[in-house]
């Protein structure tokens, strides 16, 4: 049994594009040459298509990545230069910003109001902080505000595209330009998110912390989570369960698929209905990079059914990477996005690679076949039950191992830490996270119709989150479960991946191939 690697060229193209963008960001001092880079890309495309020069395809994609990175860098450099200028009247530079969320108004001890909200400039996230604010009304989502102030990069930022803070020090330097369009999708989704947030923790008022965790796992709202608790999850290597990604999106897709199948819809119709619903969910949570990646991959996977094709997770990864990094090249410097893509690629490659080799559990399959031939149906079912449980445990360990290998270099570069304990604890934490998300979905929906039932589901979700928190606390207390290290260089990361690639290539030559079909396929044939 051999793995299907037909989608590997798409993955190589995506990796080439990302490498080109990384090279462009590294050589950012030449960002002003991006028009010339774009012109060279056009010539390469003409050579590839018109003159059928096939061997420059990957070079063309690499050049596209460089041109895109330089184009984005030129905008960022212009923004940084503008943020340091002073107008003729002596005022700081002014920017027109749209309120994108998290608008908060606070008062200090002297009664002065400070207003803050989230926005963006040239692809860079910006938090506006207006001190001595005298307007009686807090900014609302979707409104346009003219703000004059000084941009500063946030502390401990590891990326040039990390969030900035725009400090507005005078109430005369900020003013509303236009009202929010109440019919806009962003405003509508924000209002729906606020309504759902009030129901996610219904019945869990006895623990504000667990309420906040439920909102973070279902809606991506991390506002009320204490920083100390997030630090514990980060040290244990389980912080990923609070970043809405593949686990959450696939679970939502599975619930939608099961709900639609209950009405007798075909697989093609279920996919056609589930894809726009998933897009709505990603917009509802504010389209963070990891959720966009997961939503796009699941949509591409389901979209294969619409065209009568066999879905391929490797091809879905490659297309999703090309789309996301092509539209937003700055995502190549986003830690969460790179972790999401690298970990998902590691999991997909592991599942495809390990599936072609003999399993340690194949002996149980032989025993089940013998019991079936002897007519011992009860023993056969018992053997298959044991096989299923052991197969799940081995699969979870393998996926956790693959995810750790793929994400360890990025964690070492950014955080200076290797969470060794995550190899084992994620085997239990990931299923608990799935249960918490499922219970939160049921509880939130039930809260609209049957509040008492919703409270029961919400408390079950809180119990799952409590167990996750307890396991993370236990792992952190184990010696060497989280090892601090010096920040890795790009050469260290390259050698890490090359070493593991060589190791798996060596195993491929010596491991025996799988001879028995999968247990579920065997059961269907036996029935």
Q: Is residue 480 part of a domain?
A: no
* Percentage of the chain modeled with pLDDT above 90: 7
Looking at the structure, do residues 114 and 73 belong to the same domain, yes or no? Answer: no
Domain boundary among the residues 50, 83, 116 is at 83
Q: Is residue 218 part of a domain?
A: no
Can you give the pLDDT at residue 358? 61
Q: Is residue 393 part of a domain?
A: no
Assess contact for 440 and 200: CB atoms under 8 A: yes
Looking at residues 264-275, what average pLDDT do you find?
85
Can you give the pLDDT at residue 362? 58
> Which contiguous run of DSSP H or E holds residue 150?
strand 150-153
Lowest average pLDDT, out of 33-42, 112-121, 166-175, 383-392, goes to 383-392
Assess contact for 326 and 18: CB atoms under 8 A: no
Which of the four pLDDT bands, split at 50, 70 and 90, describes residue 181?
low
pTM of the model: 0.82
Q: Is residue 112 part of a domain?
A: yes
Which of the four pLDDT bands, split at 50, 70 and 90, describes residue 525?
very low
Which of the four pLDDT bands, split at 50, 70 and 90, describes residue 308?
confident
Looking at the structure, do residues 76 and 117 belong to the same domain, yes or no? Answer: no
Q: Is residue 171 part of a domain?
A: yes
Strands 150-153 and 164-168: antiparallel
Q: What is the DSSP code (8-state) at residue 513?
A: B
- Order of strands across the sheet that contains 144-148: 94-98, 144-148, 174-178
Looking at the structure, do residues 125 and 69 belong to the same domain, yes or no? Answer: no
Domain boundary among the residues 83, 108, 139 is at 83
Can you give the pLDDT at residue 18? 92
Looking at the structure, do residues 77 and 112 belong to the same domain, yes or no? Answer: no
Task: Inform me whether the pLDDT recorded for 91 exceeds 60.
Answer: yes
pLDDT in tens, 333-391: 888 888 888 988 999 898 888 877 766 655 555 555 555 554 555 666 666 667 667 77
Task: Inform me whether the pLDDT recorded for 518 exceeds 60.
Answer: no
Looking at the structure, do residues 101 and 69 belong to the same domain, yes or no? Answer: no
Per the structure, the count of domains in the chain is 2
Q: Is residue 370 part of a domain?
A: no
Looking at the structure, do residues 101 and 161 belong to the same domain, yes or no? Answer: yes
Can you give the pLDDT at residue 521? 46
Q: Is residue 154 part of a domain?
A: yes
Looking at residues 140-162, what average pLDDT do you find?
75
pLDDT in tens, 430-441: 888 888 888 988
Looking at the structure, do residues 74 and 100 belong to the same domain, yes or no? Answer: no
Tokens found for residue 256 = 């939608």
Average confidence score pLDDT of the chain: 80
pLDDT in tens, 1-21: 455 678 888 999 999 999 998
* Percentage of the chain modeled with pLDDT above 70: 83
Looking at residues 290-306, what average pLDDT do you find?
86
Cα dihedral 371→377→378→384 (10° resolution): 60
Looking at the structure, do residues 72 and 126 belong to the same domain, yes or no? Answer: no
Looking at residues 109-120, what average pLDDT do you find?
80
- Using CA atoms, how far apart are residues 173 and 46, in angstroms rounded to an integer? 50
Domain boundary among the residues 178, 197, 217 is at 178
Q: Which residues contact 426 (CB under 8 A, 6 or more apart)?
A: 237, 238, 396, 400, 403
Task: Inform me whether the pLDDT recorded for 205 exceeds 50.
Answer: yes
Q: Is residue 118 part of a domain?
A: yes
Any idea what the CATH number is for the domain that residue 134 is in?
2.40.50
Q: What is the DSSP code (8-state) at residue 139?
A: -
- Using CA atoms, how far apart are residues 359 and 516, in angstroms rounded to an integer? 9
Task: Inform me whether the pLDDT recorded for 169 exceeds 90.
Answer: no
- Using CA atoms, how far apart are residues 63 and 41, in angstroms rounded to an integer? 6
Residue with tokens 């389209």: 287
Looking at the structure, do residues 112 and 174 belong to the same domain, yes or no? Answer: yes
Its domain, for residue 172, covers 94-178
Looking at the structure, do residues 109 and 59 belong to the same domain, yes or no? Answer: no
Looking at the structure, do residues 48 and 123 belong to the same domain, yes or no? Answer: no
For the chain, the straight-line distance linking the first and the last C-alpha, in angstroms and rounded, comes to 23
Lowest average pLDDT, out of 21-35, 188-202, 474-488, goes to 188-202
Around 513, how many Cα atoms within 13 Å sit in the side-chain half-sphere?
Answer: 5
Tokens found for residue 148 = 């004059």
Looking at the structure, do residues 102 and 79 belong to the same domain, yes or no? Answer: no
């Amino acid at each position: 049994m051999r793995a299907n690697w037909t989608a590997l060229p798409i993955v190589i193209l995506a990796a080439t594009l990302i490498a080109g963008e990384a090279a462009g960001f590294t050589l950012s001092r030449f960002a002003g040459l991006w028009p010339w880079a774009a012109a060279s890309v056009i010539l390469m495309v003409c050579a590839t298509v018109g003159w059928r020069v096939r061997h420059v395809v990957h070079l063309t994609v690499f050049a596209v990545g460089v041109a895109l990175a330089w184009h984005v860098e030129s905008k960022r450099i212009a923004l940084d230069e503008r943020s340091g200028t002073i107008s003729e009247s002596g005022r700081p530079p002014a920017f027109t910003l749209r309120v994108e969320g998290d608008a908060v108004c606070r008062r200090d001890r002297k009664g002065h109001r400070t207003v803050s909200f989230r926005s963006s400039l040239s692809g860079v996230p910006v938090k506006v902080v207006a001190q001595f604010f005298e307007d009686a009304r807090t900014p609302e989502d979707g409104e346009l505000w003219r703000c004059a102030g000084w941009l500063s990069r946030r502390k401990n930022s590891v990326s040039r595209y990390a969030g900035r803070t725009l400090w507005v020090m005078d109430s005369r330097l900020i003013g509303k330009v236009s009202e929010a369009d109440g019919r806009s999708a962003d405003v509508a989704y924000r209002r729906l998110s606020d309504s759902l947030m009030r129901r996610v923790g219904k019945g869990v008022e006895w623990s504000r912390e667990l309420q906040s965790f439920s909102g973070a796992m279902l809606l991506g709202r991390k506002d009320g989570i204490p920083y100390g608790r997030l630090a514990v999850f980060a040290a244990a290597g389980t912080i990923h369960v609070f970043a809405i990604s593949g686990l959450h999106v696939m679970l939502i897709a599975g619930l939608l698929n099961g709900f639609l199948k209950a009405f007798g819809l075909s697989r093609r119709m279920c996919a056609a209905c589930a894809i726009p619903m998933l897009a709505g969910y990603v917009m509802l949570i504010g389209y963070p990079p990891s959720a966009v990646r997961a939503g796009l991959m699941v949509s591409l996977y389901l979209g294969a059914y619409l065209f009568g094709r066999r879905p391929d997770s490797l091809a879905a990864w490659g297309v999703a990477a090309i789309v996301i990094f092509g539209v937003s090249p700055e995502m190549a410097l986003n830690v969460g996005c790179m972790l999401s893509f690298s970990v998902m690629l590691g999991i997909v490659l592991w599942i495809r690679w390990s599936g072609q080799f003999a399993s340690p559990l194949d002996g149980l399959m032989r025993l089940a076949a013998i019991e079936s031939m002897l007519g011992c149906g009860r023993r056969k079912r018992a053997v298959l039950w044991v096989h299923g449980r052991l197969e799940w445990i081995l699969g979870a360990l393998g996926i956790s191992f693959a995810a750790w290998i793929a994400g360890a270099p990025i964690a070492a570069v950014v955080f200076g830490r290797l969470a060794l304990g995550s190899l084992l604890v994620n085997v239990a934490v990931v299923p608990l996270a799935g249960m918490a998300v499922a219970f939160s979905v049921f509880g939130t929906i039930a809260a609209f119709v049957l509040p008492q039932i919703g409270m029961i589901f919400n408390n079950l979700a809180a119990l799952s989150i409590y167990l996750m928190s307890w396991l993370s606390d236990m792992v952190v207390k184990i010696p060497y479960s989280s090892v601090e290290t010096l920040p890795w260089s790009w050469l260290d990361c390259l050698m890490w991946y090359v070493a593991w690639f060589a190791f798996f290539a060596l195993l491929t030559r010596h491991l025996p191939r799988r001879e028995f079909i999968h247990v579920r396929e065997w059961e269907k044939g036996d029935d």
